[in-house]
Structure 1
């Protein structure tokens, strides 16, 4: 009989966009095309195009498991462009996307321009670098129409480090909880959820122990009433999984786990 640990391993693998898969190959081809078009359109006005976010962390979900999966692209404009406002950059990126991808859906969505193709969405995020004697800091638009500092690489590094530290269970667990989040109409923003999971202590845990531990540790702080209810339901289901495991009923434990994730047992 399959164990809940092996089932979670299988599901987390299914939630990974595998290298050389059709979906990964398609995304990579679109990234290459997008970069070429950006360079051709903006020329020397941009200094860097950086792919970041969950795609680079290998925590992005296939679109069939998360309709909102997207690839984040940081479009860094040159120093000569720094006098322009964040909204000016966003408007220019929207004009670019409308012109180069006329059959795709294009819209403004803070802080980015969303370019939605048939099989993938791209978030084009305008950026500039704040230069000082000590460092070069990336900046992106904030909600007030000004600039805020960001570190598009730092969190990727942090997730990789904790994943290595905790026996490679952190990235699979992030994907599992992102699937729960998508299945429950996103109580958390995907970035906040990833950060919460990455900050947990999974020392000595396998997929099963880590999954149940993360359910217990997941905080409802800052959530809406509906979001809080979703998490409380998750915690109740986690208790049922533990109860079935204590009764040595792996079948029922797997059934509840699959119900949590919205997949077939």
Structure 2
């Protein structure tokens, strides 16, 4: 008897779960970054916001992401903030390539990429650089809590599903936001009473297709909408790949429903390019 579709999907998920060495690299660099920013710019707090620590990261793909809330007066332009952080960290790590990739300053260490998102406190949430222009409000603690709550409701399934959709993104080179995929996955499971791996993978992809990768409302009700892609051209590429993914996920779901595990696994392999 061959491998079941669920067993194959679980094996893939395990294969792309980040290793302890990735976490250790992030720990090593965090301390040095935090000390430097606090000494030269003043730091209110710094905490991890990315998928690596949150439990939805993908092995060898996800960076360590930290929000660094700075002291002082918020400048008129986020570029002032980003440039100050970049210059401060470049002085501390002169042999490391450090670049600005809004809203983050990216430190490309030899063993890991670390993204630092500079921020200033708001009445609620934080003000960070908008990827397009100006400032934007973000609520990372609330968003993480929302995903954690849905994950708890389904005994860990929300983060597993989010990781699987991100694996598809990376293996198929889909230019879509990882944050968008995570929130779409959690939003889907938030409306479900039970979790079925093959079905919910299909339904998550299908719902994004039905929405044409439109921006989604913040499910916490706090922030602005979550955008899917950085440009319309990327959105068209992502939609094309999503259409193919939905077709394959549907065939895998239909085969699984009739206990044809061999065909279900074949379609999953096509879906994830394995």
Fold-level similarity (TM above 0.5): yes
What's the TM-score bracket when you normalise by the shorter of the two chains? 0.7 to 0.9
Determine if contact 1:176/1:261 at 8 Å carries over to the other structure.
no
For 2:166, the equivalent position in structure 1 comes to: 178
CA RMSD, aligned part only?
Answer: 2.2
Provide Cα deviations, 1:131-187, integer angstroms capped at 9, x if missing partner: xxxx44311122565332211211100001111112321101111110111122224
Change (3 A) 1:27 1:262: farther
Aligned to 1:140: 128
Identify the residue that residue 238 of structure 1 maps to in structure 2: 249
Deviation at 1:51, TM superposition (A): 1.6
Q: 2:194 aligns with which of 192, 197, 204?
A: 204
Q: Which residue of 2 aligns with 1:58?
A: 55
Q: Which residue of 2 aligns with 1:34?
A: 33
Contact residue 174 and residue 197 of structure 1 kept, 8 A = yes
What are the superposed Cα offsets for residues 45-82 of structure 1, whole Å, 9 maximum, x if unpaired? 2222122131332111111xx3xx2222112111x333
SS of residue paired to 2:95: coil
Contact 2:174 2:241 in 1 (8 A): no
Flag as ranges the 4+ runs of structure 1 deviating above 4 A.
none
1:114 to 98, 106, 111: 106
TM-score (norm 2): 0.82
The answer to whether 1:85 aligns with 2:82 is no
- By how many angstroms is 1:261 displaced? 1.6
Instruction: Please list every run of 5 or more consecutive structure 2 residues that lacks an aligned counterpart in the other structure.
Output: 215-231
Helix, strand or coil for the counterpart of 2:140? coil
Match of 1:127, SS state, is strand
CA–CA distance in 1 between the matches of 2:250 and 2:140?
Answer: 37
**2:198–2:252 Cα contact (<8 Å) kept:** no
Matched-pair contact (CA < 8 Å) for 1:5–1:206 = no
TM-score by length of 1: 0.85
How far apart, in 2, do the equivalents of 1:164 and 1:218 lie? Answer: 23
Contact 1:127 1:139 in 2 (8 A): yes
Q: 1:185-210, CA deviations, whole angstroms, 9 ceiling, x for partnerless residues?
A: 22421111111111103421232232
Residue 68 (structure 2) pairs with residue 75 (structure 1): yes
Tell me how far 1:16 sits from its aligned partner.
2.1
Number of aligned residue pairs:
250
Q: Partners in 2 of 1:50 and 1:242 — Cα distance?
A: 39
Q: Provide the C-alpha distance between the structure 2 equivalents of 1:141 and 1:117, rounded to a whole number of angstroms.
A: 23
Residue in structure 1 matched with residue 222 of structure 2 by the alignment: none
Aligned equivalent of 1:165:
153
Structure 2 match to 1:124: 116
Inter-partner Cα distance in structure 2 for 1:84 and 1:262: 46
Q: Secondary structure at the match of 2:136?
A: strand
Q: Which of 203, 207, 213 is the equivalent residue of 1:217?
A: 207
Cα distance in 2 for partners of 1:260, 1:55 equals 23
